[in-house]
A and B are shown apart, each in its own frame.
Chain A
């Protein structure tokens, strides 16, 4: 009995090391999130260029003369000050996190989805950890068609 118990404890240690070594290697964070965002915008036929505003990507959609803007924000609100630079009168703002698009900064909802995504990742139900940042896009109201695009793909559910 003693030997079985000892083997059980030792197995837990070995399994811990194996799981740490083989699984959950930072998930999708290995890729640069900004590069991933630029690539996804380009796949949506939106030409991108660096913005004069730090941390923001300017995009030019076909059939819309005015540029749109995209940025990555930490989900915990540490850089929410950057949202003050947006103009909700002229633009429609979309917050995208983990496959969900919202028109307001739903802090609690985002944190809940992050916690749920982390739990799913731990249980092996998703392949990567949810990202620590959400995507914010600012779409010119002059081009209402932009709002109908599939913006959820900028932050897929994983």
Chain B
């Protein structure tokens, strides 16, 4: 008597699903930036390039690190159907033509990589970077711009105080600071608020720590805190320079000053993680068995 066997379909490899999930999210993430999915984004090649550059060197760096790890995120073996379903779910979310969609996908994949026992160290590192990117995407979305406006009002008060400290009379009204010496005033918009850059700074910190060869630790939080304070001080200084007079505003807003500010912000974002990773020397690696 012959007995027919039912062949169980052999699913795709776990490593390959990891790779697919990264590619799907990367395409959605960068497609949204290139197209410009915010209501006030302009069409055309030049705004497209500006949007990519505005998005920051650390986003490109972060994706580079994710791609380097994408083939080693999981151990070899077949993917579970739950994992495959997760990748499809993330892909469906990322279809939405808004920037928040790949952010949500990154958050889901990041959390699943950090919680999955099958994930390798490279997978956990990639998961952490994905959470950093997701945080940045959510933090800079217009749904949180009300929060940044509140911070902008606090920034205006600080800038007014700094003006008075250097002997310039100033008046503050909401998020508007007026230099009473010459009547020049600035409006602090959400994108210029000191809070706006903080998620990018956290991402830069994560990326640099991982680039320097180790997972961030709890003891790094004080360095992260110091870096956040440094980033806020840097923004307040820039706002004071913007509010001095019209020529200073143009120099620091559209002129060479913007490069100086960017270099200073990048320098801070690189320096703090370097100091954090040198803060405590790594314990010497235990000799592996079989090696003299």
Which residues from chain B sit less than 8 Å from chain A, CB to CB? 9-12, 20, 23-24, 27-28, 31-32, 34-41, 43, 84, 87-88, 91-92, 94-98, 101, 142-143, 145-146, 148-149, 152, 173-176, 187, 189-190
Contact of A2 with B10 in the complex, beta carbons under 8 Å: yes
Cβ–Cβ < 8 Å partners of B95 in chain A:
12, 15-16, 19
Cβ–Cβ < 8 Å partners of A149 in chain B:
none
Contact of A122 with B101 in the complex, beta carbons under 8 Å: yes
Q: Which of the residues A9, A27, A78 comes within 8 Å of B39, measured between beta carbons?
A: A27
Q: Which of the residues A5, A23, A115 comes within 8 Å of B97, measured between beta carbons?
A: A23
Contact of B146 with A76 in the complex, beta carbons under 8 Å: yes
Given the contacts A2-B11, A20-B31, A20-B32, A78 and B190 also touching, CB distance less than 8 Å: yes
Which residues from chain A sit less than 8 Å from chain B, CB to CB? 1-2, 5-6, 8-9, 12-13, 15-17, 19-21, 23-30, 76-81, 84, 107, 111, 114-115, 118, 122, 129-132
Contact of A81 with B174 in the complex, beta carbons under 8 Å: yes
Closest A residue to B91 using CB positions: A12
Contact of A9 with B143 in the complex, beta carbons under 8 Å: no
Cβ–Cβ < 8 Å partners of B174 in chain A:
80-81
Contact of B10 with A1 in the complex, beta carbons under 8 Å: yes
Contact of B12 with A6 in the complex, beta carbons under 8 Å: yes
Given the contacts A12-B94, A118-B98, A25 and B11 also touching, CB distance less than 8 Å: no
Q: How far is the CA of A130 from the CA of B40 in the complex (A)?
A: 11
Q: How far is the CA of A150 from the CA of B31 in the complex (A)?
A: 39
In the complex, the 9 A-B pairs of residues with the closest C-beta atoms, listed nearest first: A12-B91, A1-B9, A24-B97, A76-B145, A29-B39, A20-B31, A122-B96, A9-B20, A81-B174
Contact of A111 with B146 in the complex, beta carbons under 8 Å: yes
Cβ–Cβ < 8 Å partners of B40 in chain A:
29, 132
Contact of B187 with A78 in the complex, beta carbons under 8 Å: yes
Given the contacts A76-B146, A107-B146, A84 and B173 also touching, CB distance less than 8 Å: yes
19 contacts between A and B (CB under 8 A): A1-B11, A2-B10, A5-B11, A13-B23, A16-B24, A16-B27, A29-B40, A77-B149, A78-B145, A78-B175, A78-B187, A79-B187, A80-B174, A81-B175, A81-B187, A122-B98, A129-B39, A132-B40, A132-B142
Q: How far is the CA of A114 from the CA of B98 in the complex (A)?
A: 13
